[in-house]
């Protein structure tokens, strides 16, 4: 097989319409564009979503949703996930090394979800009141 012998699979590509070649072809005179109107003319164009001057659907419907620009930078960590941190100290760097939070995260907060099985020292991370109680009950501390 050579590059110059490559061809598309049979039947995968249709032959192009040869328009304006007489009435017998079925595409003579108006060339399949119909009669009159914007689409029959050369340069006939309208925007995507244009509905002939009627208020378009995307403008009739209300705006919904919101994407926070800061949402990617602030992350929540559950109590039971702290068991995956190596050593007995949890900081922003150790959470990133353990792949519990993304590298781009600037802040993290530990929330009381699940149980904590080992004593751990939390440094430089926000903690909810319930999570603080659970960490101290497991023999750890929050700095």
pLDDT of 35-75, one tens digit each?
998 889 998 888 899 998 999 999 999 999 998 888 889 99
Residue 75: beta bridge partners? 108
Give the three-class secondary structure for 77.
strand
74-142 placed in CATH 3.40.190.290: no
Q: For residue 10, is pLDDT > 90?
A: yes
pLDDT of residue 117: 85
Q: How far apart are CA 119 and CA 130, in angstroms?
A: 16
pLDDT band at 93 (very low <50, low <70, confident <90, very high): very high
Per-residue DSSP letter, 25: G
pLDDT of residue 126: 95
pLDDT band at 31 (very low <50, low <70, confident <90, very high): very high
pLDDT of residue 89: 92
CATH 3.100.10.10 positions along the chain are 74-142
Q: For residue 106, is pLDDT > 90?
A: yes
pLDDT of residue 132: 94
């Amino acid at each position: 097989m050579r590059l110059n012998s490559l061809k598309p699979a049979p039947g995968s590509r249709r032959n192009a319409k040869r328009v304006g070649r007489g009435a017998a072809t079925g595409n003579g005179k108006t060339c399949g564009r119909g009669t009159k109107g914007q689409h029959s003319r050369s340069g006939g164009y309208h925007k995507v979503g244009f509905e002939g001057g009627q208020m378009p659907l995307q403008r009739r419907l209300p705006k919904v949703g919101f994407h926070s620009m800061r949402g990617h930078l602030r992350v929540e960590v559950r109590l039971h996930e702290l068991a995956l941190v190596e050593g007995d100290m949890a900081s922003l760097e150790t959470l990133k090394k353990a792949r519990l939070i993304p590298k781009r995260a600037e802040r993290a907060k530990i929330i009381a979800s699940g149980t904590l099985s080992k004593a751990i020292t939390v440094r430089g991370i926000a903690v909810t009141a319930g999570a603080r109680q659970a960490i101290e009950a497991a023999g750890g501390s929050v700095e």
